[in-house]
Amino acid sequence: MRYVPRELEKQVLSAARAFPAVVLTGVRRAGKTWLLRHLFPRAQYLLCEDPDVVARFRADPRGLLDALGAPAVLDEVQNVPEIFAYVRSRIDRHPRRMGRYFLTGSQEAPLMSGVTESMAGRAAVLQLMPMSRREHPRVSVLGGGFPEVLARPGAAALWFSSFVQTYLDRDVRAITAVRDLATFRRFLALLAVRHGQLLNRSDLAAPLGVSVPTITHWLNVLEITGQLFLIPPYFENLGKRLIKSPKLYFTDSGLACHLLGIESRRDLERSPFLGPLTEGFVAAEILKAQVNCGRRRELYTFRDQQGLEVDFIYPARRGTLVLLEVKASATVTPADAAPMQRLAKALKLGGRARPSLRLVHRPSSGAPERTTVAPGVEALVLDEFLKDPLGV
> What was the pLDDT predicted at 120?
78
Q: 9-127 adopts what CATH topology?
A: Rossmann fold (3.40.50)
Report the alpha-carbon distance of residue 113 to residue 122 in Å, rounded: 14
Interstrand relation of 309-315 and 321-326 (parallel, antiparallel or unpaired): antiparallel
Ranges of each domain in the chain:
9-127, 147-281, 300-386
What is the CATH class of 147-281?
Answer: mainly alpha
> What was the pLDDT predicted at 354?
83
Q: Is 126 helix (H, G, I), strand (E, B) or coil?
A: strand
Report the alpha-carbon distance of residue 354 to residue 357 in Å, rounded: 9
106 pLDDT band, cuts 50/70/90, is: confident
Write out pLDDT tens, residues 215-255.
Answer: 998 998 898 888 999 999 997 655 566 778 999 999 999 99
Write out pLDDT tens, residues 191-220.
Answer: 999 999 999 999 999 999 999 999 998 998
Q: At 296, give phi and psi (nearest 5°).
A: -70, 155
Q: What predicted TM-score, i.e. pTM, was given to this entire model?
A: 0.94
CA-derived radius of gyration, the chain: 22
> What was the pLDDT predicted at 237?
58
DSSP secondary structure of 290-352? HHHTT-----EEEEBTTS-EEEEEEE-TTS-EEEEEE-SSS---HHHHHHHHHHHHH---TTP
Report the alpha-carbon distance of residue 129 to residue 254 in Å, rounded: 13
> What was the pLDDT predicted at 349?
62
Write out pLDDT tens, residues 335-388.
Answer: 999 999 999 988 866 556 689 999 999 988 777 889 999 999 999 999 999 999
